[in-house]
Structure 1
């Protein structure tokens, strides 16, 4: 199998724009660290999320969790809950990637070839496959 294309496309740039808008809605009264995510499913639907903090750390939600929740709530089958591409954006000295828990959540609904773009406010800075970010993912699925 060939390596999936990590090249930026029109769809990638649309996800960046939506993730940046989602970031602006983040509820972060404690850390002030805004994160936005936009994901596209295999069927082409797009879902966004932002981080949501809570005074009782760590009860908040990561932006990826929020976007995945929106995806599940809107899912109607036929690839509508299979993540194909995702952009995570935050203002930071270097582009961030999903945390370990979110990598595992993305794995639940993605494939090793799922593309994850890491962006800052200047745009997409680096791209990865899920397999590259989570090479030894936990999996309960039975071997066939």
Structure 2
């Protein structure tokens, strides 16, 4: 996966999570992103990053001294086995169960797992299955 290429036209340029304790978050995200074939590409005092995700401490200059609120991030997985491996890696590295791997009602073939990271963010890995390619667009009300 090319991680240093600029991708014009994406909805999200980058996301920053500001966490209470960087070490547990770095252990957690390194493990789950590794399963998803997304390498952590840089670390420094007070932050690390992988692709468009930056995780930092409150004293990082970009954090303005405050942790971020609770967020839901969903990472794409290449297949169901990767969702399962994401879930196991998350639980083994400080994550807490928030929905074991399984089919979800959002559309046919939606297979996902949900965990809470060390700061309580809801982190998901999802495989949309082959049904997504032929399914019409789905609107999900939150």
Normalising by structure 1, what TM-score?
A: 0.30
Q: Which is higher, the Rg of structure 1 or of structure 2?
A: 2
Q: Which has the higher helix share?
A: 1
Normalising by structure 2, what TM-score?
A: 0.30
